[in-house]
Amino acid sequence: MTLAVVTLAAGKGSRMKSDLPKVLHRLAGKPLLGHVLDAAEQLDGATQHVVIGHGAELVREMFTDRPLTWAVQMEQKGTGHAVAQALPDISDDALVLVLYGDVPLIRTETLAGMVAAAENALALLTVTLDDPTGYGRIVRNDKNEVQAIVEQKDASDEQRQICEVNTGIMAMPARYLKRWLPALSSDNAQGEYYLTDVIAMAVADGVAVNALQPSSATEVEGVNDRRQLAALEREFQSQQADSLMVQGVALADPARIDVRGTLTVGRNVSIDVGCVFEGDVILDDDVQIGAYNVIRNSKLGKGVQVESFCHIEEAVVAQACNLGPYARLRPGAELADGARVGNFCEVKKSLIGKGSKVNHLTYIGDAVIGEGANIGAGTITCNYDGVNKFRTEIGDGAFIGSNSSLVAPVTVGDGATVAAGSTITKDVGADELAVARGKQRNIAGWKKPSDQ
């Protein structure tokens, strides 16, 4: 039996107070819908169907890289109506799993349990809440068998005391859905076609209803407003922090870390407060991350130390390097073993050789720096003429004096020295001293400007 996952993502989300479709709002840097699709994608043999409506084209554009089948719900007539839009693309012998694009923390393990429980039956995911207000109640008989789901607005006073509620997530053979959905009625307080009404139909037809519960209530919480989104963000990040600490990472404060992608860690890694990790980040053994760093799609080698307030993006940092504070590595930056990039320095598309130092107030772009070089404070590789980028090469053991400008394309040879304050426009040979600055004049008796 094939598995068809139908995710409902047609809602506007008016309580978000935004023009963006609700399912495109981000949790941990990823659209809500993306989390749901990722969880379902790991199920064996799953094909994914997404029902869209409000902002349909925006939703399509966000997920063009995925093999999805789209269905459009032109009018919002309820969950039963939404699922019906996807059914024409689903074969009769499939098993259908219904999910919601605004429930981002659902776990693959929970969904796998639903699929297993839905063979020739209807599997229903329920949760027991201290305060069930607003949710559809699970009505059971004297044998504790599920009989129906009654929505809050249609429930009697007695039914409203029930604390077991519907999460909306269910699974069943497609042949049942195709029989039951056309029989749904909109004769209810909302005037909508409730998918939940198929529970009573299943009972009437003698189809078993198997109720399961998730690992925690937060797993099935939906997002309707900014407060709920923020609460789920913190829950997600708490889970990431727990996972990291289980792997041996020392977190200065587990409540102050944000992982917006995949963070792979080695042994003896420590992370101070306020750090953000985006995309795919790898931290090798003994990496020490200071406070308030942002690291995106980068790899940091063994023993790297990152001082506070650094931004590192699409960079590769080898062993025992030291960064910051206030260093910026832009895409294409690569540091060899033991290199240092210090205070208020920026490196873009450049190689910093083994043991070389770029310590203060410096821009290195489109450059190759050899081993053991020293780049003085205020140095700039002038790599851009307004149209084209050019390369600077600095040899092993070279010394670049403070406040120097190297106008690319230019080469500074091994062991060469550039005097402080120089503007270098021609190649400097190995072991040469380059002095390229105006002659100093001291003027006696000079009068400072005055406002008198």
Same domain, yes or no: 231 and 216: no
Closest residue by Cα to residue 399 from 369, 362, 360: 369
Cα gap 306→313, rounded to integer Å:
13
Within-domain flag for 440: no
Same domain, yes or no: 276 and 149: no
Please tell me the total count of domains within the chain.
2
Same domain, yes or no: 111 and 259: no
Q: Residue 300: beta bridge partners?
A: 283, 317
CA of residue 150 relative to chain centroid, distance: 37
Within-domain flag for 323: yes
343 is in an annotated binding site: no
Task: For residue 78, give its domain range.
Answer: 3-220
The pTM of this model reads 0.91
**Spatial CB neighbours of 325, under 8 Å, sequence gap ≥ 6:** 290, 307, 308, 309, 310, 343
The pLDDT score that the predictor gives to residue 449 is: 81
Q: What is the CATH number of the domain that holds 34?
A: 3.90.550.10
Cα gap 170→214, rounded to integer Å:
12
The pLDDT score that the predictor gives to residue 452 is: 66
100 is in an annotated binding site: yes
Cα gap 128→96, rounded to integer Å:
24
**Spatial CB neighbours of 291, under 8 Å, sequence gap ≥ 6:** 252, 272, 273, 274, 275, 308, 309
Side by side, which strands form the sheet with 270-271? 250-251, 270-271, 288-289, 305-306, 322-323, 340-343, 357-360, 374-375, 399-400, 417-418, 433-434
Burial 237-267 (b: 16+ CB within 10 A, else e): beebbeebeeeebebeebebbbbbbebebbe
383 is in an annotated binding site: yes
Q: How many CA atoms lie less than 13 Å away from 180 in the CB half-sphere? A: 23
Same domain, yes or no: 252 and 323: yes
Read off the pLDDT of residues 288-342 as tens digits, 9 standing for 90 and up.
999 999 999 999 999 999 999 999 999 999 999 999 999 999 999 999 999 999 9
The pLDDT score that the predictor gives to residue 339 is: 98
405 is in an annotated binding site: no
Within-domain flag for 268: yes
179 is in an annotated binding site: no
176 is in an annotated binding site: no
Cα gap 393→305, rounded to integer Å:
26
Same domain, yes or no: 311 and 212: no
Q: Which residues of the chain have pLDDT under 70?
A: 452
Same domain, yes or no: 88 and 216: yes
Within-domain flag for 442: no
Within-domain flag for 150: yes
Catalytic residue, candidates 25, 35, 81, 360: 360
Same domain, yes or no: 235 and 359: yes
Could you check whether the bond before residue 214 is cis, i.e. omega within 30 degrees of 0? no
Cα gap 70→32, rounded to integer Å:
17
The pLDDT score that the predictor gives to residue 155 is: 93
360 given a catalytic annotation: yes
